[in-house]
Amino acid sequence: MRRLSLWLVLGIAASAGLVAAAWLGRSFEIPIFMLAVLWGAVAIDWLAARMRGDERPRPETPHPLDLPPRVAGYLETLDHGLDLPADVRSEIGLEIACHLEDSIASLEAEGLDAERATGEALARLGRPEELARQLRRAHQTTRRLLAGAAGGVFSAGVGVVQGYVVATFSAIMVLLAAAVAGAVAQRAGLSISLNLSDPGGGTIFGCLLAWVAAFVAAHRAVRASAERSRRPVRQLGRGWAIAGGAVLLFLVLFVVDMGQSWLAVPFELGVPLAFAAGALVWTERTAPRLPLRAVIALGTVVLIAPVLLLAAATTQAGGWSFSYTEASLRLDHVAPAWLTSGAPVASGSTIGYGPTADVRWTLQDPNVLARFHDLRAEVWRGSPFPGRPAGSSFAIVDTSYASPYVSYPVTFAGDTADTRIDVGHSRTTSWWVVLVGIGPDGHRYRLGAGDFESQFSGTLMDWLTASQ
């Protein structure tokens, strides 16, 4: 209840801030989103704590037990053989110690000396290894194992949400720090150029969040299942690492559909590895609990500080420019150009950013096309423009290919020509769509061209088995 009340205080404070902001006529979309996530995490965390039985009472030490060395040695051997969670071992050890204390006292009252009474009391209990084996079997029942599995799955789900919340907060803090650093550098007259663009950029960011979520989920699953099944965390951790890692690897390879690139591959494969790490590393420790002051400070920084700091910071959008000639695009590799009044017959534009796109050419003089036959749209692979700035998507025709990747018929209507292209599952992301046809002299000519950027979307296995 104390932890719930801490979160309640933070939630109420954030709500009060929102009300004040609304009254002042300011909009705070980000704080609203963060508040919704915060309340969701509070509810799930409280529910998970209730399910875990965090309030289970722990036995107090009855009194300082004055045990002979032989008894202490017996209890130590018993403890090593129990292979149960630490709190269960502690409770059993205390119970057996109390039993031996009563037994020795009773035997001494019957007239035995201390040494003989201790020996007799230990003999009545039997070998510590056998006692540990029987106690272990009594605790590690099949019913508890199944309960542990179910509890572990539920706790893993809670851990996924908590991990995503923590990762999102952390990412916001990193971006905030970067924005502040950029603003400070700009005021100091420094110019910072940083390009982080990649076709799989969204996937990479999502995977980084998933790493934290997977790690926290595995940690919670192992601890919850160990507590319920009365089995040691290291034993269960291996099972969770293998099973959870295999499931996540399957999902990443064959199920989850997202933007792909070679840079995104290791980040995707890192998700099952993060789960395995969470199941094997630091599982003996409980998750860290932040004190109240730290929680309030963190919540204040995340919810309020970004508005203040970003309002003070300024950003400048920079661009790049470079010159090129028609020849440098290497479109002649496709076919020589047929120019009318020195200009292409058609100027093209594409709509779409996936593997499919709609292409429309606007014809300068539709009558020119009447002299051509076998008109079609050819899709040619592109390659990076030599010396182009980082992050630029401008490309030239890849001359290492002698034929187009795919061709499509063209539909003509008035002064426009349309087609729909689909580059399918190809790792190439830069394309040139060229309108070609056989001219009156029987040769093939290029009538118009336009570049097109595609994004590979599919599973990781689709990416690994895709054609170039």
- Residues contributing to the site for another protein (CB under 8 A): 57, 59-60, 62-63, 91-92, 94-96, 98-99, 101-103, 106, 124-127, 130-131, 134-135, 137-139, 141, 143-144
Q: CB 82: neighbour CB atoms within 10 A?
A: 23
d(CA 128, CA 304): 60
CB-wise, 141 or 399, nearer to another protein? Answer: 141
CA 42 to chain centre: 21
Q: Which two tokens stand for residue 243?
A: 């099973």
CB-wise, 229 or 429, nearer to another protein? Answer: 229
CB of 137 to another protein, least distance (A): 7
Phi/psi at 354 (nearest 5 deg)? Answer: -110, -155
CB-wise, 90 or 393, nearer to another protein? Answer: 90
CB of 3 to another protein, least distance (A): 25
d(CA 320, CA 389): 7
Task: With both helix axes pointing from N to C terminus, report the angle between 128-139 and 69-82 in degrees, rounded to the nearest 10.
Answer: 40
On the CB side of 109, CA atoms within 13 Å amount to 6
CB-wise, 100 or 447, nearer to another protein? Answer: 100
d(CA 463, CA 426): 8
Q: Which two tokens stand for residue 85?
A: 């969670």
CB-wise, 133 or 425, nearer to another protein? Answer: 133
CB of 74 to another protein, least distance (A): 12
CB-wise, 144 or 427, nearer to another protein? Answer: 144
CB of 71 to another protein, least distance (A): 14
CB of 170 to another protein, least distance (A): 42
Q: Which two tokens stand for residue 269?
A: 């494969």
Provide the residue count of the chain: 468
CB of 456 closer than 8 Å to CB of 466: yes
CB of 94 to another protein, least distance (A): 8
Identify the residue whose tokens are 């309108």. Answer: 435
CB-wise, 145 or 208, nearer to another protein? Answer: 145
CB-wise, 65 or 406, nearer to another protein? Answer: 65
Distances in Å between the Cα of 317 and the Cα atoms of 32, 39, 192, 418 are: 28, 36, 12, 35
CB of 223 to another protein, least distance (A): 20
Smallest CA-to-CA distance from 437 within 424, 419, 454, 453 is with 419
CB of 238 to another protein, least distance (A): 24
